[in-house]
Amino acid sequence: MRIEVSITVFLLTLLLVAIPGVAQETQVSAASEVEVTWDQVRAVFQKRCFACHRGEQARGGLDLSTVAAIKAGATSGASVVSGKPEESMIYTLPAHLENPKMPPNGARVPQRELDLIHKWILGGLSEKTSELPVASRSSSRTAASRPLPRPRPQPASRPKQTLAPAMPTGTAVAAAEQPVGPARPSFAKAIRHQAGVVTAMATSPVSSLLAISGQQQILLYDWTDRSLRNVMAFPEGDVFILRFSRDGSLLIAGGGKGSESGKVVAFETSTGERVFEVGNETDVVLAADISPDGHFVALGGPSRVVRLYDTTNGNLISEIRKHTDWILQIAFSHDGLLVASADRFGSICVSEGSSGKHFMTLRGHTGAICGLSWSADSSQLFSASHDGAIRVRDLHTGLETQQILPGSGRLLAFDRDASGRLVFGSSMQKVSVMSPEGRLLTSASMSDEVTHLQITQDATHVIASDAIGNITLFSMEDGQSAGQISPPPASARIQ
């Protein structure tokens, strides 16, 4: 009997542990004994400190990106004393125990995160990571034969209906607690249920597939019948760049959380499975491309650095630090020898595709660059810009061979088909098609600024989106609308 009871208790305990919530709680209560690993602390540093304290140009000479760098200290001396958090500035400054308080002028880092730093120092600056090493995790394509478990799509968090009920009635309102700066009555407007704007778009070069960004998702459509074929989760955040590989087998998606994290994930187009992921940015990825042979991915964003990764092992090959503003466009040449990156200031850097070695800088644009396109023989680079111009450069000489000024206001989206026709979207809410010589062939109107457009694989249609979320198919021949794509609101897509 007694034994039976003990067994029951034991089983109950097991059950309890198996229930995720309870298990987590157990973990938290036991946290003091559990060793804090480097990746946990690094996540805190990444979120709170990396904007200033990372890499070669770190402020005060303090680089928090590796344990070795932290141990090396800052220009003002040692930044950490192993086992003694109260004597370590990397704890005392963010904990506001000492001046200068960190982050400067900001709120104190949450206690939970401070505790992690504290325990990590106390525990002797562990270099262990609880996650698997990057290279083995972001496996090569051969490794993809062992598909990773498909991540469950996470619901985009919907606007909370917290905007309190309409009117202050006879009861005292919030102002009673706030003698100065009284509260206004809350906003009681019904929140319109709205689909987000398109932040990225890509058409497959070999099929009728169209990829569009959704909230923490990627929607794969067949543009010919405008049917939704697949949904891929991107719990890393919002997607700001989509690209198909040249053979259409892979779809790479770049994005992340603003001012927090960014990476590029490659999906198998046919299955929607994740194949590899690269990048560890402190802000979203805004531009990325995969080399024609699939060997390299180049990515960039607000960090102003283009990073070149080897997709077979996830290793960072090179950092291109030539840009002075946010990286907005990246394109490998068709022969894969070169990669062009363009920024918000209007500069274009051309680097060697496999090494990142600087090749040439192309200046001339006076506004952000919205599109890059290589000629089929990779000898010419087309660029379109907010300054309203499309420029063509010869990559042998670096000289401009053609400049087209469509007179359509700022150019916001750009693509080019195999026959050389130029398609662009503008701030004047127009989608225009031009001959290679710069003659206007046709144009169509949208309801707001045209933010993205892509030519279909057969060069019969343009798919364009505007700043308020419309997605329209236009005929390349006559500019006639051939239908709309209306992604369902995020809430409706969650399986």
Partner 1 sequence: MKILRSCILFALCVPAAADEPATGTLTIQPPIISLTDARDWQRVLVLQKFPDGSTRDVTANAEFQLSDPAVCQVENGIFRPLADGQCRVTVRYDGSDVVAMAEVSNATMIPDLRFRSEVLAVLTKSGCNSGKCHGAASGKDGFRLSLFGYDPPGDHHRLTREFPGRRVNVSDPEQSLLLQKALGNVNHTGGQCLDEDSEHFQTLKAWIAEGAPTDPPEAAIPTGIRVFPEEAIFADRTAASQQLLVIATFSDGTDKDVTDLCVFLSNNDAAAGVTGDGVVSANGPGTAFMLARFDQFTEGTAVIVRPGVSYEFPKIVAANQIDELVFARWKNLHLLPSEVCSDEEFLRRINLDLTGLLPTPEERRLFLADSDPDKRAKRVDDLLQRPEFLDLWVMKWAELLQIRTVNGLSSKGLLMYDRWLRERVHAGMTIDQIVRELIPATGGTFENPATSYYQTETTPQLLAENVAQSFMGTRIQCAQCHNHPFDRWTMDDYYGFASFFSQVGYKQARDPREIMIFNAGTGSLKHPVADRTVVPAYLGAGKAEIPAGADYRAVLSDWLASDANPAFARNLGNVVWAHFFGIGIVEPVDDMRVSNPPSNPQLLQYLGQRLAADGYDIRPLIREICLSRTYQLTASRNESNRLDERHFSHSKVRRLRAEVLLDCLNQVTESQEEFRGLPRGSRAVQIADGQTPNYFLTTFGRASRETACSCEVRTSPTLSQALHLLNGESTSGKISSGGVVERLLQELQDPLLVVGNLYERCLCRQPTSREIEAVKDRLADGRDVREALNDLFWALLNSNEFLFNH
Three-class SS string for 219-259? EEEECCCCEEEEEEECCCCEEEEEEECCCCCEEEEEEEECC
User: At closest approach, how far in Å is the CB of 430 from partner 1?
Assistant: 15
- Segment near partner 1 (CB under 8 A), from 170-178, 227-235, 262-270, 417-425? 170-178
Report d(CA 194, CA 466) in Å as an integer: 14
Region 449-468 residues binding partner 1, contact defined as CB under 8 A: 449, 451, 467
Considering beta carbons, is residue 65 or 333 the nearer one to partner 1? Answer: 65
CA 433, 435, 439, 445: dihedral to nearest 10 degrees? Answer: 0
Residue 55 engages partner 1 in binding (rule: CB under 8 A): no
Tokens of 230: 């697949």
Among 179, 225, 419, 495, binds partner 1 (CB under 8 A): 179
Among 83, 124, 147, 159, binds partner 1 (CB under 8 A): 159
* End-to-end Cα spacing for the chain: 48
Place of tokens 């905007």: 163
- Segment near partner 1 (CB under 8 A), from 65-73, 84-92, 175-183, 332-340? 175-183
Contacts 24+ apart (CB under 8 A), 179-187: 187/163
CA 318, 324, 329, 333: dihedral to nearest 10 degrees? Answer: -50
Among 15, 19, 166, 440, binds partner 1 (CB under 8 A): 166
Report d(CA 312, CA 141) in Å as an integer: 7
Report d(CA 170, CA 165) in Å as an integer: 14
Considering beta carbons, is residue 378 or 445 the nearer one to partner 1? Answer: 445
Region 414-443 residues binding partner 1, contact defined as CB under 8 A: none
Report d(CA 329, CA 372) in Å as an integer: 7
- What is the crossing angle of helices 111-122 and 38-48, to 10°? 140
Distances in Å between the alpha carbon of 68 and those of 64, 72, 86, 126?
9, 6, 20, 11
Residue 280 engages partner 1 in binding (rule: CB under 8 A): no
Backbone angles phi, psi at 119, to 5 degrees: -70, -35
- Segment near partner 1 (CB under 8 A), from 66-74, 130-138, 254-262, 333-341? 254-262
Among 31, 47, 78, 230, binds partner 1 (CB under 8 A): 47
- What is the crossing angle of helices 2-18 and 20-29, to 10°? 90
Residue 100 engages partner 1 in binding (rule: CB under 8 A): no
Using CB under 8 A as the criterion, what x/- string covers residues 318-337 for binding partner 1? -------xx-----------
Region 281-310 residues binding partner 1, contact defined as CB under 8 A: 282-284, 286, 302
- Helix, strand or coil for residue 426? strand
The count of residues interacting with partner 1 (CB under 8 A) is: 64
- Segment near partner 1 (CB under 8 A), from 68-76, 121-129, 180-188, 287-295? 180-188
Decide: 90 and 104 in contact? Cβ < 8 Å. Answer: no
Among 124, 147, 182, 488, binds partner 1 (CB under 8 A): 182
Considering beta carbons, is residue 417 or 466 the nearer one to partner 1? Answer: 466
Report d(CA 396, CA 417) in Å as an integer: 22
Considering beta carbons, is residue 326 or 359 the nearer one to partner 1? Answer: 326
Name residues whose C-beta falls within 8 Å of residue 221's C-beta, 6 or more positions apart in sequence.
Answer: 209, 210, 211, 212, 227, 228, 229, 485
Question: Which residues are bridge partners to 481 per DSSP?
Answer: 474
Residue 94 engages partner 1 in binding (rule: CB under 8 A): no
- Segment near partner 1 (CB under 8 A), from 190-198, 265-273, 415-423, 474-482? 190-198
Residue 259 engages partner 1 in binding (rule: CB under 8 A): yes
Residue 173 engages partner 1 in binding (rule: CB under 8 A): yes
Residue 184 engages partner 1 in binding (rule: CB under 8 A): yes
Residue 29 engages partner 1 in binding (rule: CB under 8 A): no
Binding site for partner 1 (CB under 8 A): 47-48, 50-51, 103-107, 156-160, 163, 166-170, 172-173, 175-176, 179-189, 191-192, 194-199, 213, 215, 238, 240, 257-260, 282-284, 286, 302, 325-326, 344, 449, 451, 467, 489-490
